[in-house]
Every structure is written in C-alpha cells, then in structure tokens.
Amino acid sequence: MVIKGLKGVKAAETVISHIDGVNGRLIYRGLDIGELTKNHSFEEVSYLLWHGEWPDHHQLLQLKNKLKKHRELPEYLENLLISLPAEMDFMSVLRTAVSAAGPLNKDKPSYSDSIRLTAMMPTIIACRKSHLEGRPFVRPSAELDHVENYLYMLNGEKPAESQRKALETYMILTLEHGMNASTFSARVTVSTESDIYSAVTSAIGTMKGPLHGGAPSEVIAFLDEAAKSGNIEKLIREKINRGERLMGFGHRIYKTHDPRALALKSVLLEIASKDEWLGLSLDVETAAVSLLQELKPGRALYTNVEFYAAAIMKSIQMESELFTPTFTASRVVGWTAHILEQSENNTIFRPESHYIGRMPVV
C-alpha cells in the first residue's frame, strides 16, 4: 500500500519535541511551549533542544560566546553573498551560502557545527540585505545576544526592548516542530552519513517551498484587504462562500487552538496593545472564527502560527522578503537537534516505491 505524503506514518523516534494536535500542545523536551517563551532566551531554549536540559550559568555563557564568535563570516563567504545575482531570492542565497560554508566538512555532525550554523544565519541574511540595498553592512556586535544582534545588523541600531521581545518570542516558538518536511529532509540526508552542512542545505531547499515555509506574507495580504474593505465580516463571508481559504486559519495537526498562535497573541497584547495592526488582527480573528463556525461547522478552525507571526513581523517592521529567512534562522536549531539525534542512532532512510508502469512483454 502507498501512503501518499507519508501522512500518519511515524518515520523516527524522537525525544526532541511532541505535538498534541487534539489538545493544542507543543512540547519541547518535556516542557510546554507557552512556558518556555515567558522567561527564557533564544540561547537557553536552543541549548535545551540540543541537550535535553537547561544550561547552567557556565554552559550558557559558553554557548553565547561561541555564537558570537561564529557570527563573523569568512571573507570568501561574504564575497559570495555579494557576487550572487541580485534577482536570487533570499532562501536560495541562504541555501547556497550554507552549502559553501562547509566545503571540507567530513566529520560526524557535531554540536559545534550546530552552533556555527545557527550563528551564521542572521549574518548571511543581514549581509545580503545590506548589499542589495547598497548600504554598508552593519557588522555583528559581540555585545549583543543572538536575537538583538540580528535586529541590530538589519537596522543599524540596538532594537527597542519590545521589538527584541516580539522577535525572540517568535523565534523560540518556531525553533522546532516535529517531523515537518524540512526536518525530515535533513534527517534523510544525514541518514546516508552525509555531513551536517549538506543536511541543512537540503532542509533549506525544502523549507523554501510555499507549502512549507510559505511565510506569513499571504496573511499580510489578507489583513491589508480587510483593512481596505470597510466591512470585515462581509469580506470574510464572501471569501468563505467562494470556497477561498482564509490565510492564517486552520492546521493539519492542531484541531483546536495552535499553542504558538496563542503565545504570539499574548506577547503582542503585552507589547503592542496600541498597534493598529494588532487591533486589525484581533478584529479579523473575531469575525473569521465566528464565521468559520457558522459556515464550516465542526471543522475546528482557529488562527495558526502564521496569523500572529504576520502581526509580529509587522509590529517590528520586518520586511516580508525576510519572513521565511527569519523562520529559517530559528528552525536551524530544530534541524540540527534532529540531525544529531539521527546520526546518534542511524538507519538509512530507504523507502520503496510501488511500480505501476509497463512490464517487458515476454
């Protein structure tokens, strides 16, 4: 029997994360995601995902220092970023740069390489962005933590605390999400005993597709339309009646509230309560959830992570071309945690296909 898209197939055992779609829970290493965003940093949660336990003071300091050290790109990589054609999209640039970052790497996947890959993603994005805009590249600052430094390189100034908190919450919530397509792709590549740079290159290529890392840009378009419509309820009713999907609503696994959307909404309410985008998002959510209940009864359709990610990105003035690359800069932690887990206890992925073509005539 062929199981299309491997739907429902459990392809590996993992201790990294668990998604409970019925009860709307996402668990990283035994801990509920909502709790992790309250008092923990990107660095701490990354350490937790890689090691299965919280870092002590010394381990955290060591991780932060290593991340800072690897923020600087080798000269040849910066030159590569400048020489790639201007029309090449950001995800293709990331994929090419990561591939070029590990040309000699034949070692078994390691924690050090996981840190290096995580450290270099924001620099690659910021360096390329400044080049495209024809302005000098704001070099990474060794004074700042990971997320703060990313915003600093993009904007040339230390971010406001609310901006830092918004992006850090988003990045923690998107670090890891079970056996999604890009994580699977990374695990398949490393299962052949290929190297970690090749595995992350595969993952980026997979993430790039609109069915996966599609980014919240479509939600922005929907919110724009809602803002211009003058009658949100009428617009949404017509969309549903035409059979259109409301972007940012519904989920394949969560058949209740997406816990990441709830956590993002709560941080937005805290830091951007007067933001007009937040007000618009709340109005659209209220109208859409009620109309979806009326017109699609029994389907349990609520906001997903993309919906409030869009509002977060808007509130920190992140340009839409950077949405998927930013998602990638956080998901690299989940990928590398899975790569390490796969290589610790490896069986090569080698499924079979069911041949339905012609046979030789005998």
Catalytic residue set: 251, 306
CB of 174 to ligand CMC, least distance (A): 8
Alpha-carbon distance of 33 to 266, in angstroms, equals: 13
Does the footprint of ligand CMC cover residue 18 (CB under 6 A)? no
Contact flags string 296-335 toward ligand CMC, x per CB under 6 A? x--x-x--xxx-----------------------------
Alpha-carbon distance of 247 to 215, in angstroms, equals: 11
Q: Kindly determine how many residues on this chain lie close enough to bind ligand CMC according to the rule CB under 6 A.
A: 15
Does the footprint of ligand CMC cover residue 226 (CB under 6 A)? no
Of 247, 264, 309, 329, the residue at the interface with ligand CMC (CB under 6 A) is 247
Buried b (16+ CB within 10 A) or exposed e, 166-199: bbbbbbbbbbbbbbbbbbbbbbbbbbeebbbbbb
Q: Which is nearer to ligand CMC, 47 or 327 (CB)?
A: 327
Q: Which is nearer to ligand CMC, 248 or 259 (CB)?
A: 248
Does the footprint of ligand CMC cover residue 208 (CB under 6 A)? no
Q: Which is nearer to ligand CMC, 60 or 295 (CB)?
A: 295
Which residue's Cβ has the minimum distance to ligand CMC? 250
Q: Which is nearer to ligand CMC, 66 or 257 (CB)?
A: 257
Q: Look at residues 331, 349, 343 and name the one whose alpha carbon lies nearest to residue 178.
A: 331
Cβ 111 vs Cβ 149: under 8 Å: no
Alpha-carbon distance of 140 to 150, in angstroms, equals: 8
DSSP string, 141-196: -TTS-HHHHHHHHHHSSPPPHHHHHHHHHHHHHTS--SS-HHHHHHHHHHHTT--H
Residues in 53-112 that interact with ligand CMC by CB under 6 A? none
Contact positions vs ligand CMC (CB under 6 A): 240, 245-252, 296, 299, 301, 304-306
